[in-house]
Structure formats: structure tokens, C-alpha cells
Amino acid sequence: MKNKYTHHNNELTLNNVGEAVLLKGWVAKKRNLGGLIFIDLRDHFGITQLVIRPEHPQYELISSLKSEYVIEVSGTVLERENKNNQIITGQIEVDVKNLVLLNESETPVISMQEESESLEETRLKYRYLDLRRPSVQKYLIKRHEITQSIRQTLLNNKFYELETPILAKSTPEGARDYLVPSRLYEGQFYALPQSPQIFKQLYMVAGFEKYFQVAKCFRDEDLRADRQPEFTQIDVEASFITQEDIMELTEEVFANLFKNVLNKKITLPLQKMDYKDALNLYGSDKPDTRFECLIEDLTSILNGYAIPLFEGKETIRAIRVKNDKSITRKKLDEYAALVKKHHGEALAFLRKENGQLSGSIAKFIEKEDFILEDELVLIVPGKTENVLPALGALRLKVASDLNMIDETKDNLLWVVNWPLLEYDSEEQRYYAMHHPFTAPQDAHILENNPKDSLAQAYDIVWNGYEVGGGSIRIHRQQVQNLMFKTLGFSQEEIKSKFGFFVEALKYGTPPHGGIALGLDRVVMLATKTNNIKDVVAFPKTQSAKDLMLEAPDFVEPIQLKELNIKVDSKNE
């Protein structure tokens, strides 16, 4: 191919000295040192230094080049006098013989330097420029490598990569659906899938046995630093398997990912933790086990004292930390606010220093043998369902403040033996803890004592983040009907929402199950960033806006008319 470059800008070394080369890329930096012009030429792969001498026939043109101009150069590789050991090509430079200006550039509105000080809002508005920076590109390159590693493991295990529809039916799965109005069927809507859950089960009904997909999913829910409205799942389903089979496959996926992409090793099998233990010890169903600071039950101890704050409380739980000087009264007030934010009633504390007990309830304590010297005990009373998550959030905050977390660690574990259902006391009905197609461990318990029913479900947790969840599915129609009945669906609702699926279960559905891995979170954790937007090519903001596309946006009236939609506006 004519004018094809001979090398990328990370390839030339001393072994290439004397060779004629053709390079292309962006002007990353230009320096004029007493007549000699030096240009750092950047492409996706790296940097090559160019040198242009004062007698060069194109010297005037080259002097006018600015940052981010796109150029093509031909020249000869020379050994550099002043070498740069920070880059691969730092021992050579290219003596430019000819330069072609391929395109000019206005001054970029964001810095192209590795450590940009541009505001995140500006970076997202001009994301195509932000993505030019190698420090940003590395996240998406790592995402590619991780995706290919996972794909290859599944292909090696004889899984088929199959697609599922994007325009689907709205079904009650927890979060709000994104709805798509139909032009052909007035007043009717498609829904974007929250997950390919029903479709992948139908693949099992159809007899494919092993399916996976890199699937786009959509949920209209409030966002967090680790959540986007559209996200990517590695979706997996298989027939004639057990919970242990799926967990073993998933562990193989992560072991290969760590080995081939991260150059690390994880020990298998992964730890398995009961859901109840996760809540009672860590205050979370996604426990961060990189540090101790476990939750303790002090109910029996502290109920022995007449402490007004604790009177009539269902439980009194606490965490113990070193009595660090940085935990001032102001910091304790901050912790109290955090506890209340997570539905805890109050925060009490005790310190022991030089044999002396102090704190908000110290005057009520007669015997202090339950607290050690140089220890701070943070205590939350109330209902168990409120106390545990409040202490779980407090545990993470304190650990962060006291640098208790080893950020170099990667702890993965399974949370198992989940409740099948959760009860909403306000609505006086059960909801599926995962989704309504999760198989119970014992159908008789589901029928006779649903609140005690456990699920054949499992979540994989990485450093306190849920990165995947799955279950064995219900494959018998009578059990699925029992589940729907327990969830309070009428026959009409079952037929309306899930009729096609219930119908499919009549035709010899095999036992099956699967898991979905959150690719965005996996990449976020693998690259050690705490912002999921870093690993998504064109992310939304925390308020679900695309600043680059300026979406969502109003549409033309004719489009609404075609859809038979009228928008009520408060401004009319």
C-alpha cells in the first residue's frame, strides 16, 4: 500500500539506526532549541522524537506546526545524543527528510498531558479528545484485554456466543425500565432489557446448553460512582449444571484474567461466605475482606448497664478500632451523620486511654473489661436490619480514614445461601431477592414458610464490590407458578407479563443456571480506578446525561406525532 507507515511510534530502537522510515501521528510537543526543532510524534502506541535542522527546505512549514496537528514524516533513524530512558524509543530519533501536513487542529479545550487538570465535565463533553490521552486509553485497552480473556475462557469451555434482542417486553425485575414507544402500535411500548435473563433461559429451553454474550443492559435507576444507566454484562447460561459447576467456571474465568491480563495469581477455590455471616460480620452482602474490623454483638454486655440510649433496642452492635488521634470529636460527629444516613438510630462511643474510660456512654459503665487499652469502640443500637448496614458503611469509612485497606490486595469471594425473598412490610408482600426465576433450595419451604426459603444463588465479590451474580433457575412449571403466587402475581398478571415464558416451561425445560459478570466493574477494579466512567468509552454523568451528545434532548413535534405521544409541559 502506497504511503503506508513502516513503524508505529513505539517500535524504533538502536537496531533500526540507519533505516529509512515513514511515520504518522499527532504533534504531541514541539521545541525549538537554537534552530534545531524537536517534535514528539504521538500515535496510539507511543512517542518518537523527530529532529528538523535549520537548513531543511520545509523549515518554515514545520516551524508553524502546533499541538495536535496530524502529520506524516519520512526520514532516517539516528542514535540520540541525549537519551531518554523513560520511553521505549528514547535512544533514537528520526532525522526528517520530508513532512506532509495531513490536518490542522485548533488548540484543544482540554490538556493532552498525561495528568490533565481539566474538569470532569469538560472531559466528558470533549470525550473524543480526552480519549486521545494515553493515560485514558489504557483503561479501554485493558477493557479489551479483559473481555478477550473472558471470551476465550468461555469458548475453550465450548460455550456459544449468541445474541438476544434489545427491543423487548417490560417485565417487573426490580429497577425501572427504559421504554421505547412503538410507532405501529399506538400506546404500546418496547422495553430495553435490564438483562437478557428470560432470553438466555429460552436458549436453554431451545437446547443450546451453553450460551454467553457480551450484553448491553439498561436500568433507569439512580447512579453511583460504580454504576451507569447502560452497562455491559458478560452473560452466561448452561444446562445440566449445578451451582458448584457455575462457580468453578467463573473461578476459571477470573484465574485466567488475573494470569493473562494482570500478571497476578489468585488462589482457588475462592472463599465461600454465607449471606448471614456477611451481614453480621461486615454489615454488607458485598463484604470487603481486605481488613478485619469485624462487627461484634455487644447486646448481652451493654444491656447489663442502665444506658438510656440502649433501652428497648433489639440489638447493640459495634466495631473496634485503634484509638487514633485523628478521630477527633468533629470526626465522630461526621461518623454519627454517616450512621444516620444509612438508617442507624445513633452512634455511641467508648475510648480507653491510660487505663481511663471516656466517651458518650462512659459514665454508665462500671466494668470495662470488654474494652482494651488504646481502643475505640463505635456502637450503634436499634433494629438489626438498620444497625448492620449502618455499621457496614461506618466500617468502610473508618478503614479509609485510618489507611487500614491494603490497596494492592485483590480479595475475591463468594456470598452464598441468600434468602430467596425479602418482605416489604409497607406493601405487605414478598419480593424476589434476585429475580423471580431463581430456584429455591427447597420448594417445600417456599410453599410452607417462604420467609425462611433460601435461594440457589451466588454473588462473586471483589474488594467490596459485587462483580457478578447468578443462580440456578426454576425449570419446573409448578415451582415457577408457586414462586409467582408467593410474589403476589395474579393469574392475569402472570399471563400478561410472563405468559410466553410460562408456556415455554411446559416443553421439557432442562435444569439450568448461570451468572452475569459486570464487565464495567471488573475493569474498574482491575485497573485500580474508583470511577466507573474511566473504563466506559462514552459514559453518562452522575445525573445520566451525555454531555458530548447533549442527550437526552427534545425531539421534533413530528416525531412525537408519529408515535401518538403528547408531552405535557409545565412551561406551556
Alpha helices in 438-570 (DSSP H): 443-448, 477-486, 491-504, 519-526, 557-562
pLDDT of residue 572: 44
Q: Which three cell numbers stand for residue 146?
A: 479483559
Q: Which three cell numbers stand for residue 456?
A: 440457589
Is the bond preceding residue 552 a cis peptide, omega within 30 degrees? Answer: yes
Sign for the pseudo-dihedral over CA of 167, 143, 119, 41: negative
The count of C-alpha atoms lying within 13 angstroms of the C-alpha of 34, restricted to the half-sphere facing its C-beta, is: 0
Reported CATH class of domain 291-401 = alpha beta
Report the binding-site residues: 173, 219-221, 228, 434, 466, 473, 518-521
Q: Is the pLDDT of residue 118 over 90?
A: no
Q: Is the dihedral of CA 207, 211, 217, 222 positive or negative?
A: positive
Q: What's the sign of the alpha-carbon dihedral 270, 275, 278, 280?
A: negative
The pLDDT of residue 112 is: 84
Neighbouring C-beta atoms of residue 473, cutoff 10 Å: 22
158 contacts 210 by C-beta, under 8 angstroms: yes
Residue recorded with cell 448496614:
389
Nearest-5° Cα angle at 304, 303 to 310: 30
- Domain 137-273+412-547, CATH number (from 2.60.40.150, 2.70.70.10, 3.40.50.2300, 3.30.930.10): 3.30.930.10
Please count the residues of the chain. Answer: 572
Annotated binding site for L-aspartate: 173, 219, 434, 473
117 has pLDDT over 90: no
pLDDT in tens, 20-78: 999 999 999 999 998 999 999 999 999 999 999 999 999 999 999 999 999 999 999 99
Q: How far is CA 6 from the centre of its chain?
A: 39
Could you list the residues known to form a binding site for ATP, using ranges.
219-221, 228, 466, 518-521
The single-letter code of the amino acid at 314 is E
pLDDT per residue over 242-278, tens digit each?
Answer: 999 999 999 999 999 999 999 999 999 999 999 999 9
**Could you tell me the strand order of the sheet in which 271-274 lies?**
160-161, 210-218, 230-239, 512-518, 465-472, 457-462, 412-416, 271-274
**Top CATH class, 14-103:** mainly beta
Whether the per-residue pLDDT at 116 is higher than 80: the answer is no
Every domain of the chain and the residues it spans: 14-103, 137-273+412-547, 291-401
| Residue 336, H or E segment | helix 329-341
User: Mean pLDDT score of the chain, rounded to an integer?
Assistant: 94
> Lowest-pLDDT range, 54-63, 164-173, 193-202, 544-553?
164-173
Closest C-alpha among 349, 337, 335, 338 to residue 381: 349
Residue 407: partners with Cβ closer than 8 Å, 6 or more residues away: 528
pTM of the predicted protein model: 0.93
447: helix, strand or coil: helix
Residues 389, 283: contact at Cβ < 8 Å?
yes
Backbone angles phi, psi at 456, to 5 degrees: -85, 70
Compute the half-sphere exposure of residue 220: CA atoms within 13 Å on the CB side of its CA. Answer: 11
